[in-house]
A and B are shown apart, each in its own frame.
Chain A
């Protein structure tokens, strides 16, 4: 992979700390310039997440938690600092590497109904297979159906998103996020628009499946009650993680 370091200033071979964590952040910061004003969304964050660990980051809207999550997931480039996943500085590699990483090692669950409206539930779950590396790609419809059954939607495999409730759509999104058995599940306010009962069901489902797959789970939320079940709870305020 060719280096594509941009403005992070990271050296491609800069090593993480001696014992490699699944996720390690070193001095990660993100700032935006709006006119003459510089907005610091995330300030010098250091963080380690081990395999299978459940970490919750709580904070108000605009505290920078979603931005932090997106930098870990390779969705937005940090202004400063390095993000290591499995010991690799992801922002020192090119965009194809990060695409492959998101496809193979990271699953995302967003705060909105993140399904493609023209695809059925099973086709939505199969998207990581479609977008993944061609080599060795094979039809894995049975895996997708098994996952949908696992999230309680075995009867809805051919349903389109418009035919599913909000909770059911979120379950499909979870099944899709776990399709490639990722090492890390990133959830950004995953139950933000769900009622309390559905919220609890979805949360329970994510925790169970992450435990089964030994997947690390990083969730950002403004809901303290939801964060209580995590192994570690961190607070984010004005871009500072504590």
Chain B
């Protein structure tokens, strides 16, 4: 027999009390774990999305900032156009390393499109630096004009044929999943094919034609030279009438604002709950020490040192709260798994991108949840454990006489 098993036996004495305390800790640690997992997923999505995005600036038409942000984050179709001549003018700026135009279009409902309301993005393969470098899988050949690339969450298979406005395309490749809606959900095609579709759309009478022409683009993705003055480049671009600039920082800030609005209440409640757990454990372990005063005095009479009793009480609390922590994390993981789609849907409806954390990251968060539960136990039981350890053995033995 070890002291540990004595602690286990003590917890078994009052199973209902032990279970209730463990459940209370489980709720707190489960909430911490789940919240952390979701928040981490959003952060991961942002980090990964922007690090692979590759563009320092996004130039869009005036008045379309919100639409572009939504398109970027959630992949929700958004169409707007500006004069394509801006691409050459921006490229000509000394601090600009790369500038690649893109044109956005939304497919119409009808027999001429495989799916309606899909988000199509035309990109320029010659100047592109945000699409082709991130192909996760592709056909064993070069990309052809009638090929398309699908986002990481697309359900189309490689080699599958899709059609838009009566034009047939082959799914050539799939991008890595990023958590950025635009790159996960859109269908990418060569920009000249996008212009062809605009022309083709005019043939169909059952849907409005695509309202852009070859002189227009939707966005210009800009990469700035490492040595350039970012502010100076931004200023120079902003001089173009009708152009607005979005930086990665703008988007991240807006997402974080949404995130804070969504989670601040949860974080606050969880913190209150944890503090409540500490106080509850302190009160209950004080009662436990008081109930077992004579027994603790008896252990001292048999030769237990002060630190042994301190350790015994702390061991009981640690065992109980660690068990609660493990339970909470397990239930939290189960809830996340069951409501995975709902969670992603809600986050995306708030323009918050999301990418599930990697297994190792989830394991780390689970570990943090369990360690937090352990700390709750140790903190809550510290004072009662000290009380138990400093009691004069004779007074403790005489308790209840």
Binds A, one of B7-15, B18-26, B109-117, B336-344: B7-15
A76 touches B302 (CB 8 A): no
Q: Is B387 an interface residue (CB 8 A)?
A: no
**Cross-chain contact of B301 among A96, A102, A130 (Cβ < 8 A):** A102
Tell whether, in the assembled complex, residue A130 and residue B3 are in contact, meaning their CB atoms are under 8 Å apart: yes
Complex interface bits, B291-316 against A, C-beta within 8 A gives 1, otherwise 0: 00011011111111110100000000
Tell me, rounded to whole Å, the shortest Cβ–Cβ distance linking B386 to chain A: 14
- Going nearest first, the 9 A-B pairs with the smallest beta carbon separation are A103-B303, A76-B394, A118-B9, A75-B394, A70-B394, A75-B393, A99-B305, A131-B304, A131-B303
Question: Footprint of A on B, CB under 8 Å?
Answer: 1-3, 6, 9-10, 12-13, 294-295, 297-306, 308, 392-395, 397
Q: Mark the stretch among A14-22, A119-127, A198-206 that contacts chain B.
A: A119-127
Q: Which of A108-116, A151-159, A212-220, A227-235 is found at the contact surface with chain B?
A: A108-116
Say which residue of A67, A108, A118, A127 sits within 8 Å of B10 (CB atoms).
A118
Chain A to chain B contacts (Cβ below 8 Å), 13 pairs: A67-B394, A73-B301, A75-B297, A75-B300, A75-B392, A76-B392, A96-B306, A100-B303, A104-B303, A112-B294, A116-B9, A131-B299, A132-B303
The verdict on A128 contacting chain B, using a C-beta distance below 8 Å, is: yes
| Bound-complex Cα distance A239 to B152 (A) | 88
Indicate if the CB atoms of B393 and A76 lie closer than 8 Å: yes
A183 within 8 A of B: no
One of B13, B298, B392 near A110 (C-beta < 8 A): B298
- Which listed residue, A77, A96, A127, touches B302 by the CB 8 Å rule? A127
A176 at the interface (CB under 8 A from B): yes
| Contact among B2, B305, B394 for A130, CB-based, below 8 A | B2
Q: Is A46 an interface residue (CB 8 A)?
A: no
Of A73, A104, A108, chain B has the most CB atoms within 10 Å of the CB of A108
Which chain A positions have C-beta within 8 A of B306?
Answer: 95-96, 99
Q: Which of B1, B12, B304 has the most CB of A within 10 A?
A: B1
User: Would you give the shortest CB distance from B110 to chain A, in whole angstroms?
Assistant: 76
Distance of A47 from chain B, by nearest CB (Å): 18
Q: Which B residue's beta carbon lies closest to that of A127?
A: B302
Q: Which residues of B contact A130 (CB under 8 A)?
A: 1-3, 6
Q: Which residue of B lies closest to A186 (CB)?
A: B301
- Given the complex, which residues of A lie within 8 Å of B2, measured CB to CB? 130
With both chains docked as a complex, state the minimum distance between the C-beta of B306 and any C-beta of chain A, in angstroms: 6
Chain B residues with Cβ under 8 A from A117's Cβ? 13
- Contacts A70-B394, A76-B394, A131-B308 known; A119 to B1 CB distance under 8 Å? yes
Interface centre among B10, B303, B395 (most CB of A within 10 A): B303
Question: Contacts of B1 on A, CB cut-off 8 Å?
Answer: 119, 123, 126, 130
The one of A70, A96, A118 in contact with B13, judged by C-beta atoms closer than 8 angstroms, is: A118
Q: How far is the CA of A104 from the CA of B10 in the complex (A)?
A: 25
Question: Contact at B298–A99, with CB atoms within 8 Å?
Answer: no
Task: With A76-B392, A123-B1, A130-B3 as known contacts, state yes or no: A99 contacts B295, CB within 8 Å.
Answer: no
Chain A neighbourhood of B308, CB < 8 A: 99, 131
A207 to B325, CA, bound (A): 52
A222 to chain B, nearest CB (A): 15
Report the minimum CB–CB distance from A154 to chain B (whole Å). Answer: 19
> Which one of A77, A99, A116 lies within 8 Å of B303 (CB-CB)?
A99
Report how far A176 CA is from B303 CA in the complex, Å: 12
Are the CB atoms of A176 and B13 closer together than 8 Å?
Answer: no
Alpha-carbon distance between A183 and B294 when the two chains are bound, in angstroms: 25
A108 to B304, CA, bound (A): 13
B69 shortest CB reach to chain A, Å: 62
